[in-house]
Amino acid sequence: MKTIEYSEAVRLIEEAGRMPARERLDIRHERLRELVAYARRNSPYFKELYRDLPEHYTLKDLPPTEKRTLQANYDDWLTDRSLNKEKVGAYLGRDVKDTSLLSGKYTALKTSGSTGEPLLMVRDDFHNKIHGALVNRRLMRDLDPNLLNPSQYRIATVIHTSPGASSYNGYLRTLAAFPDHAHNMLAISVLDDLDSTVKKLNAFRPDVLTGYASSLIALAKEQKEGRLDIGLKLIANSAELLPDKAYRELSESFGCPVINNYCMTEGGEIAMANGGPELRLNEDWVIVEPVDEHLQPVKDASQFSDGILITDLSNFVQPIIRYHVDDRVRIVAPEDGSALPTLEIDGRSFQSFTLAGKKYTMVLIITKAEVWPGLMKSQTVQISSDTLEIRGICFPGEDPEKVLGGLSARLEEYFHENGCVEAKVTYSLKPLLHNKKGGKIPDYIIHTGETDD
């Protein structure tokens, strides 16, 4: 297992932040070669994948990887041959109060499973200390790092509180790690209506508020209009795109610093914002390659990509090398030769909607639709003030009426159970609607016309 002292991790990150970009990229290339060599020696999967790799290879000589293939070769992917999928799964399924390490030396977590079977990710000491130092030195930067410590501050988080959600699992483990300070932690479900969330926050009086952008933006409006009245020391966004305008709204409404972290279970801390809306790419430790639909480099760097290939240079136990993700990004080189590049994301920004007089965010529907059996892609169409219509694309062999009918019935049941008894949720087998301005098919769209023309 590769290890590093935390003080050394901090030193490497601080030095890289001051050096010219060319020097930083040279170091990154050395780290890539070290990771590839280690993967070839210790992972049967990568040994076979890189069998014909030339001696003087470039990044683009390395074949892309993707979730489905890695899942199918899970045990051979791991470089610690004492680990396997069954052992990692058992560790992730342990009691939330169990703070032990996997095999006494690793941590592990899993993806949400929104695109199929969750991916189980093992992280070694080297990864954890490098990425921990990235958070400490680049995300928190001039802020008090203890702001995220529940023994000293009151922290509220608006997340998906399903037992299977990794974010909620993390919350429960933090709760178990600070049993004497449980009163300083509050988790609110993103599925709660806005009025309920406001009441809980007003009663709790948090110092720090974390959550998804859609929920935070809706709460900023409540704060501005006086229904929410909390004095925050920090806001931390995660998982969703935080546009520049939304960043400014949060800063102005709450009058406190806003930090934004673009991260993922597979690749760790990829880009961070602190002191402004721009996300700065941690290019010394994470390689992001914008690619087209054929996984080739984008021809026009000024346009958003169709996806990205991610390489995490710090995880040696379960290497992530040129791993394909659907996120649409573009990378903007800074004018300052030593500054980290800016990463712009054309990602999913969950908008708010009002149903039967109650305010919600699309997180409520998307988090259910993404894991609904048989459903590949969904769209929520608001056809009246109290009625939503679910449309979708199902996987081959699935019965659309059964899939969409089941989801719409469950959503209507949820609204009724949570005090929105006037809400109606139906479904339609009609095609998904496009935004009149063009572009991607929206997750939510208002459509009150008689036809789809």
We report the CATH number of the domain holding residue 397 as: 3.30.300
pLDDT of res. 453: 47
Q: What angle do CA 392, 398, 404 make, to 5 degrees?
A: 35
Same domain, 83 and 120: yes
Whether pLDDT at 334 is above 90? no
The last residue of one of the domains, among 256, 284, 319, is: 256
Total structural domains within the chain: 3
pLDDT of res. 209: 97
Same domain, 98 and 191: no
Q: Give residue 351's pLDDT band: very low, low, confident or very high (50, 70, 90).
A: low
Quote the strand ranges of 173-293, DSSP E: 185-189, 208-211, 234-238, 258-264, 268-274, 279-281, 286-291
Q: What is the pLDDT of residues 159-179, one digit of tens each?
A: 877 665 667 777 888 888 899
**pTM above the 0.85 mark?**
no
- In the three-class reduction of DSSP (H, G, I as helix; E, B as strand; rest coil), residue 427 is classed as strand
Nearest one of 1, 258, 285 to 125, comparing CA atoms: 1
Nearest one of 373, 366, 417 to 388, comparing CA atoms: 366
Average pLDDT of the chain is 89
Q: What is the pLDDT of residues 12-21, one digit of tens each?
A: 999 999 999 9
The last residue of one of the domains, among 292, 315, 345, is: 345
Boundaries of domain holding 309: 6-134+263-345
Phi, psi dihedral angles at 27 (to 5 degrees):
-65, -40
Q: What is the pLDDT of residues 393-437, one digit of tens each?
A: 887 788 999 999 999 999 999 899 888 999 999 999 988 886 544
pLDDT of res. 73: 97
Q: Give residue 441's pLDDT band: very low, low, confident or very high (50, 70, 90).
A: low
- In the three-class reduction of DSSP (H, G, I as helix; E, B as strand; rest coil), residue 331 is classed as strand
Burial of 134 (0-12, 13-18, 19+ CB in 10 A): buried
Q: What is the pLDDT of residues 211-259, one digit of tens each?
A: 887 788 889 989 999 999 999 999 998 766 777 778 888 999 999 999 9
Tell me the CATH number at 171: 3.40.50.980
Whether 51 is in a domain gets the answer: yes
Whether 451 is in a domain gets the answer: no
